[in-house]
Amino acid sequence: MNILKSAFITTYLLSITFTCFSQESTTEPAINSTINPANPAINPAKHSKAEIESIQPYSNLPLKQVSNLAKVFDLIKTHYVEEIEDDTLLKYAIEGMVEQLDPHSAYFDSESLQSFTESTSGKFSGLGIEITMENGLVKVIAAMDGSPAQQAGLQSGDLIYELDSQIVQGMSLREASEIMRGKIGSKIQLKAKRPGQKEPLTFNIIRAEISNSSVKSFLLNNQIGYAKISSFQSETGNDFEKAILDMQQSSDQFKAIILDLRNNPGGLLQQAIKVSDIFLEEKLVVYTQGRSEQSKEHHYTSLNTIGKDLKVIVLINQGSASASEIVAGALQDHKRAVIMGQTSFGKASVQQILNLDDSSAIKLTIARYFTPLGRTIQAHGIKPDITIIPSVVSKLEDRQYVSESQLSGHLEGDLDQSAQANNINNLDVLTDDYQLQQAFQLLQGALIL
């Protein structure tokens, strides 16, 4: 292939027409260890509803650099030790161009795009971790609740340097993700470094189907509820609204809730807005700013605010990223909730899925998002109002005391049996969770006052 022909192909490649799905990502979540952008505004499975935009050929191409690219293409085709297909080389060129921009921009081949689609449905196979790249290593943002990765002991901040005896250094995020994917029931060995520990860690994990219901909720007692959102999926907003309505129906004394966003890697932007809508009435949740006018948007809640009178505590930690940071930041700015726990991950960029003219796509960072008061979360995270470090709490052995009821001849007290029968008590979950204990106690004090 001569250089002029290579240059023509390269120029055509760079001026290709894209199909744009208005799909905003606010995190790079953990879908069985695939590079899954977590916050598209539209479920990628619903491609028929996509808004199509044409990007016109760029008329001011840097011809010298394009010529160099064509020369490199021709040199590889002519001199590389092994023969490589044109399609493969061009795919490598796109991958390198996109993935060198930032940790969240990426190229999707057909398999990666399918994994992305599956991730927003809440059902997929793999390890169940949110990952990014840091200094050439795979960094764990969060291990999803109940996932094989969490059960094996992977934690936020772990740096994976080896996958099934293959060194991660030099891999792209997509390549590392493909290795971590696999058939249900198959095994994979990960080796990782953990900050603060000298010795490396080895994890033997069995891949599994991750069928993840993103909302888990129940009443702790008659007055205080608990809701855990593990990620923001296509039905999270509806499921969370149903959870609130169920708790309101279960107890007419329901007055407060603990919203647990710890280890939540993010998800769909619109679902984060719907969750915020439960507590905020006609308020700004988040706004985005980028170079194009289309990337500048403001997102507000509606009048349908079923939890506007509930007292709220939000729990976050280093594994809380993107969409979960949007919710925490909005509630904090509007002084609608007390944020407790640890500073969040700090991912505040918006990605958009741009489909190429085949089954592949690129995920491109197009904007940054800001909290209602204009705070940037990028690289800083959401700082809690009350910092609570995870701690191990052990129960002291009870001292023996004599009570009135043990005295001979004591008077009997009146007891409202009906009130006792209706009492809700699910406080066992507080036993091993110090942060949750502190949130519960703060809400109890607020309700008493």
The residue ranges of every structural domain in the chain are 3-115, 128-211, 215-350+366-387
Instruction: Pick the closest to residue 313 from 424, 392, 225 (CA basis).
Output: 225
Could you give phi then psi for residue 186, rounded to 5 degrees?
-80, 155
154 contacts 131 by C-beta, under 8 angstroms:
no
Dist CA 134 CA 102 (whole Å): 10
Residue whose structure tokens are 């919203």 = 259
Q: Identify the H or E element spanning 75.
A: helix 63-79
Reduced to 3 DSSP states, what percent helix, strand and coil does the chain have, rounded to the nearest 5? 30, 25, 45
Q: Positive or negative CA dihedral for 385, 320, 239, 375?
A: positive
For 140, the token pair is 């764990």
Q: How far is residue 265's CA from residue 319's CA, in Å, rounded to a whole number?
A: 6
The CA distance from 44 to 379, in Å, is: 27
Please state whether beta strands 361-370 and 349-355 pair in parallel, antiparallel, or not at all (unpaired): antiparallel
List the Cα angle 208/213/217 in 5-degree steps. 135
pLDDT of residue 142: 84
How big is the CA angle at 158 (ends 156 and 160), to the nearest 5 degrees?
A: 135
CB 237 within 8 A of CB 267: no
Residue 264's Cβ-count burial label (10 Å; 0-12, 13-18, 19+) is buried
- Note whether 34 and 63 are within 8 A (CB): no
Residue 33, by phi and psi: left (phi above 0), alpha (psi -120 to 50) or beta?
left
Second CATH level (architecture) for the domain 128-211: Roll (2.30)
223 DSSP 8-state letter: S
Look at domain 215-350+366-387 and name its CATH class: alpha beta
Show pLDDT as tens, one digit a residue, over the chain (449 residues). Answer: 444 444 444 444 443 322 222 333 333 333 333 223 333 333 333 333 333 344 455 557 888 898 999 999 999 999 999 999 999 999 999 999 998 999 889 898 888 887 777 666 656 678 988 788 888 999 998 887 778 999 999 998 999 999 999 999 989 888 898 888 888 899 999 999 999 999 999 999 999 987 667 899 999 999 999 999 988 988 999 999 999 999 999 999 999 999 999 999 888 889 999 999 999 999 999 999 999 898 899 999 998 899 999 999 999 999 999 999 999 999 999 999 999 999 999 999 888 889 987 788 999 999 999 999 999 999 899 999 999 998 877 777 777 777 887 787 778 876 555 444 468 899 988 988 999 999 999 999 999 98
- Residue 133 C-alpha from the chain's centroid: 15
The residue to which tokens 């403001």 are assigned: 298
CA–CA distances in Å: residue 152 to residues 47, 191, 282, 375, 445: 36, 12, 43, 36, 37
Transcribe 263-312 into DSSP letters.
T---BBHHHHHHHHHTT-SS-EEEEEEESSGGG-EEEE--S--TTTTSEE
Residue 34 is given by DSSP the state E
- Its pTM stands at 0.72
Phi, psi of 188 (to 5 degrees): -145, 145
CA 342 to chain centre: 16
Distances in Å between the Cα of 86 and the Cα atoms of 57, 139, 407, 408 are 22, 32, 91, 94
Catalytic residues: 322, 333, 347
